[in-house]
Structure 1
Amino acid sequence: MSDDADRLTERVDALEERLAYQDETIEALNQTITAQWTTIDALKRQVANLLERLEDAVSGPGPVDRPPPHY
């Protein structure tokens, strides 16, 4: 019976060790995902700003045909 208890204790210890490493991995992945979402949000804002500037440039007044200043 002691042999069964020892094996069970070893298995529980091994599972606890794996769980600890998984917790660390999950936390690292969570930090990575959070950083990526921050970057994605910033890039989305930049793209929206660039699209707005492009639309303004395309729909804005065209070049004005004025004579050069030396005339």
Structure 2
Amino acid sequence: MADQQSLTDRIEALEIRLTYQDEAIETLNQTVTAQWKQIDALTRQIAALSERLEQAETNVAPINERPPHY
């Protein structure tokens, strides 16, 4: 009978640990998902800013070029 109780206690302890681990994994998964969404948004923002910078650089007159009134 003592062996049966010991086995039951061990199984119960494992089930409790499994429950906590499942919660931890779900929390980590949510955190990683949120971080990936933020990384994707930042990547798109950097791409848009790079494109705007390239457009601005092509629209600027060269620095060493004389103005038209000379």
Fold match, TM over 0.5? yes
- Structure 1's unaligned 5+ residue stretches are none
Please give the secondary structure, in 2, of the residue aligned with 1:62.
coil
Cα drift, residue 60 of structure 1: 2.2
Confirm whether residue 12 of structure 1 aligns to residue 11 of structure 2. Answer: yes
Corresponding residue of 1:21:
20
Cα drift, residue 11 of structure 1: 0.4
Number of equivalent positions: 66
TM-score, scaled to structure 1: 0.82
Corresponding residue of 1:35:
34
Corresponding residue of 2:44:
45
| Large movers: runs of 4+ above 4 Å | none
d(CA) in 1 for partners of 2:46, 2:68: 34
User: CA-atom RMSD, angstroms?
Assistant: 1.8
Corresponding residue of 2:61:
62
Cα drift, residue 61 of structure 1: 4.3
d(CA) in 1 for partners of 2:68, 2:45: 35
Q: Deviations over 1:29-68 (max 9, x none)?
A: 11101110110010001100111011111122417x366x
TM-score, scaled to structure 2: 0.83
Cα drift, residue 16 of structure 1: 0.1
* Identity percentage of aligned residues: 57
